[in-house]
Chain A
Amino acid sequence: MRAIYRLLSKIIDGYALLRDRINPGWSSKNSSRLREWKLMAYAFSKSRIGVLGGLIVAAVIVIAIIGPAISWEPYWVYKSVTDPRLWLHPPCIQPSCSEAPLFGTDEWGRDIVAMSLYGFRISLVISLLVVLLGAPLGIFLGLLSGYRGGLVDEVIMRLTDIFIAFPGLILAIAFASVLPRRIREFLEAFPALRDSLSFLFGLRPQEYGQLAALISVWFAMVIVWWPGYARIVRGSVLSVKELPFIEAAKLVGIPEHKILIKHILPNVLSPVLVMMTFDLATATLFAAALSFLGLGPQEPVPELGFMISKAATYFPERSWHVVLYFGTLLLFIALGWNLLGDALRDILDPRTRRAIEFRGEGE
């Protein structure tokens, strides 16, 4: 645990040095804030759940980044066509078995471990894209709505109400089923975009049809995701808005956008950060669910949820290993984010943070 604290401490120090380069004297002005961060890092290093979550997430990110590059089997080759023995072969443990990979193969005879290396990339990228784009959209609208009030507030709130009125998955299903064609046409018109997105997801540009499906899933999910953030941020803004220090800032003449960014946003940020971490888990499972229902990329892209969906037809006799393997992977990815979020929530709440600090040795 100490090692983790030292690592985080070094990162914080490095960040302070960087800020000092840009604005000299920054670190002395913000010394209390730096100390608070270090305390949070300490509290995090003491939380077993947090460290476990952090390790899992780090592992997932690493695998996701290098996965497609190190995978020993390309996902676009259907091996079982040439070698029928490889069709849904169960786990093959040496030395009694030698014709198939260790964990078994899927319908197309591909090593499921090799396929999962691609799957990690797809799941991670899509969950990050959804949260890192959907959350700020919601936050921005929430800030605007809460701070401005009046007509702007009414309109934005009505909009969120309408989108929240749909059960999430249902709305995403509806959008994800109507969008792929249009997005495909869009991608055809912009090959540069198509190629860079393919690279991002670890796919070949030839599969841009499946890429279109992925992008529709993303778009549908962003639509489902932003209202939650808008509501929470708006609520926070409303409670902070009336506090005297905001009024003081206004009286001194600080422009509105500065007040929003420098004074209101930091107060609102903690619960949002926690929510985003949890949402990364939710988004991973959500995207997998949409794929499971047939809305994401299809053959040959080995998206984790889609693989389970295909295996379902032969469950349980022939495909139990596929379902078990990919299911466990999804469990781990989501667990990592959830553990991290749980620990983060305890750390960012000053009351529980103090308790964690005192329980350990003072450093």
Chain B
Amino acid sequence: MEVKNLRKWFEVRRGFFSKPLWLKAVDGVSFALRPGEAVSLVGESGSGKTTLGKTVLLLHEPTDGQIIFKGEDVTHLKDKKKMMWYRRETALVQQDPFGAMPSFMTIYRILEEPLIVHKVGDKKEREEMIYRALEEVRLTPVEDFAPKYPHMLSGGQLQRVAIARALILGPSLVVADEPVSMLDASVRVEILNLMREMQQRRNITFIYITHDLSTTRYFSEWIYIMYAGHIVERGPTQRVIRNPLHPYTKALLAAIPDPDPENRKRFREVPPGEPPGLINPPPGCRFAPRCSRVMERCRKEEPPEIEVEHNHFVKCWLYV
């Protein structure tokens, strides 16, 4: 997948007669992913990460830029057949498993739905695929789980169903948006491990959207750090975490506690303020108002993206 200068702006009106404003949720994002690569897209609420994930899946229509998938330009896909193909090739796992499933359908029917919509197999073949999908996410014995309704399962179990549903058509690209944030701490690791295993076994390209940096190391080779609609730093996960370049990345890492009894004895050095709104942002670098290393140039011009070391990019005037 190749994404070039992608923008997704939403029109916002403050009153009936006021001029429309643009909420620039994704404002110039570029990256490329090879088959089977996993990337963590990290950002806080309001960074645009969910919008980016959904736009890549064409759940939002891009305002500008290009999305190229398996050599095809899918940016403004209108052809119905091609769209069906894209929907088979891609999938979404969302944060709230209970919100993502119809409460009146059994697990079996929920998993059957994508097969029905895409006219895959006959009744017998579907049954096999569904049972195999349940086994793959370790919801066994499958005959016990298949006839149950969502409310009968725990959050962790239901998220497994969501994963099974996402993978049942054999997609090449999966976007998981905060897939474990609503689950208990002790269950998170299990689900992340499961997703990682399946991703590697099936060679799926995976975009893992999260605000929890601590989990990214265990999950993806690449990491993209998002702030106010831009990817401000990207590179190999371990390198970015060990050697963060962008002041925002450094601030983010410094703000995250590890469980350490010494923490209570000292203050954390973090920038003041909060992430900016995305409506008609001021010129220049979006992080400038909070940046401890800010220079004149930062407030006037948006910085370009620079490759500082192999495959490690940063969008910051400090490195130009």
Indicate whether A and B interact.
no
Mark B residues whose CB is within 8 Å of A.
none
